[in-house]
A and B are shown apart, each in its own frame.
Chain A
Amino acid sequence: DAKTTQPNSMESNEEEPVHLPCNHSTISGTDYIHWYRQLPSQGPEYVIHGLTSNVNNRMASLAIAEDRKSSTLILHRATLRDAAVYYCILRISGTYKYIFGTGTRLKVLA
């Protein structure tokens, strides 16, 4: 199975950058790395995804290691509204199935 490992929790000060790590050593060569977040009482929200090279969008940046066994989600300036559980997930090879782990709970301090 395509398993990911993330720290249970992290803290950041408001307006500072946050780097959320994810290990996915069993990733297959064609699988994209997806990041989602879940704010309190809401459904998971897409953040960013990538295959090999680093990706940027209006929400975040995704840095992917050269061997693709790990990635880092970068929030450039954390705000209080970024407090959420962040999930790094992979598709199970040969399926359409994405499995969520326990994610990283990000706390942003004012």
Chain B
Amino acid sequence: EPEVTQTPSHQVTQMGQEVILRCVPISNHLYFYWYRQILGQKVEFLVSFYNNEISEKSEIFDDQFSVERPDGSNFTLKIRSTKLEDSAMYFCASSEAPRRSPLHFGNGTRLTVT
């Protein structure tokens, strides 16, 4: 069964550094998402992406965050200057058609900012 893959599984970075989290969505999916989960808290929506542009973003997704689909297969989340509070699990998801089709999630990247 096709799946969403995320790399790396764990990323450690120093405060102020840039990080790029990578995702390969399921190949025929058209809608892409990033969510994050701070340890012990609920899964939070960050951004949705369709047709090469952001559809919606949350208040968390400020100017330090950006997303890109650089080559038609990868979907990336960049954090420009990481803060301690960015430490969390970041989940990528994709969907064929979000109203009637489910989201398929990857297993996440654990980001630790020191």
Binding site for B on A (CB under 8 A): 30-32, 34, 36, 38, 42-46, 49, 51, 87, 91, 95-103
Contacts and interface: CB of A to CB of B under 8 A. Distances in A.
A30 B100 CA distance: 9
A95 B95 CA distance: 14
Contacts, number: 61
A99 to B, nearest CB: 6
Interface in B25-62: 31, 33, 35, 42-45, 48, 50, 55-56
A18 to B, nearest CB: 21
Interface of B: 31, 33, 35, 42-45, 48, 50, 55-56, 89, 91, 93, 98-100, 102-108
Given A43-B107, A46-B104, A97-B56, A102 B99 contact: no
Quick one: which of B50, B91, B103 has the most chain A CB within 10 A? B103
Given A42-B108, A44-B91, A96-B33, 9 more contacts: A36-B105, A44-B43, A44-B103, A44-B105, A46-B103, A95-B48, A96-B56, A98-B98, A101-B42
30 contacts: A30-B99, A31-B99, A32-B100, A34-B102, A42-B107, A43-B91, A43-B105, A43-B107, A43-B108, A44-B35, A44-B43, A44-B91, A44-B93, A44-B105, A46-B103, A49-B102, A91-B98, A91-B99, A95-B48, A95-B56, A96-B31, A96-B33, A96-B48, A96-B56, A97-B48, A98-B33, A98-B103, A99-B45, A101-B42, A102-B42
